[in-house]
């Protein structure tokens, strides 16, 4: 009887370990996932808690936008920001282990790819 219980206990523990590992190691996104400098084809972004700095490759003047908040929605970072007094948002997702992400298309701009730089 004790052997049956030990076998049951061992199998239960192994099952829990396998189940935990089957989530793909996905963890919730946080500010650390987007913080810092990202380089893109047309612009470079630097994300701070309260500011987004945009440097244009074309030589246009650097812009600084006020960031009012970030939301972390599964695999999306939704940044709320202000441009000329208007409150807007932009979503970033497709974060990968190789240091890339994508700005998602919306009314404010197109889909853009970025990598850590």
Exposed, middle or buried: residue 49 (CB in 10 Å: 0-12, 13-18, 19+)?
A: exposed
The pLDDT tens digits of the residues spanning 54-104 come to: 999 999 999 999 999 999 999 999 999 999 999 999 999 999 999 999 999
What's the gap between Cα 80 and its chain centre?
14
The pLDDT tens digits of the residues spanning 3-22 come to: 554 334 344 333 333 333 33
pLDDT score, position 37? 98
The pLDDT tens digits of the residues spanning 24-54 come to: 445 789 999 999 999 999 999 999 999 999 9
pLDDT score, position 23? 37
Note the CATH number of domain 28-116. 2.40.128.280
Give the chain's radius of gyration (CA, Å).
21
Between CA 116 and CA 26 the distance in angstroms is 20
């Amino acid at each position: 009887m004790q052997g049956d219980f030990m076998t049951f206990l061992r199998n239960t523990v192994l099952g829990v370990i396998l189940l935990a590992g089957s989530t793909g190691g996905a963890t919730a996104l946080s500010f650390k996932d987007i913080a810092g400098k990202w380089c893109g084809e047309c612009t470079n972004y630097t994300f701070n808690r309260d500011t987004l700095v945009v440097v244009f490759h074309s030589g246009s003047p650097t812009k600084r936008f006020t960031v009012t908040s970030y939301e972390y929605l599964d695999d999306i970072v939704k940044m709320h920001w202000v441009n000329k007094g208007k409150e807007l948002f932009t979503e970033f997702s497709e974060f990968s282990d190789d240091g890339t992400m994508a700005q998602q298309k919306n009314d404010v701009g197109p889909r853009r790819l970025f990598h850590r730089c």
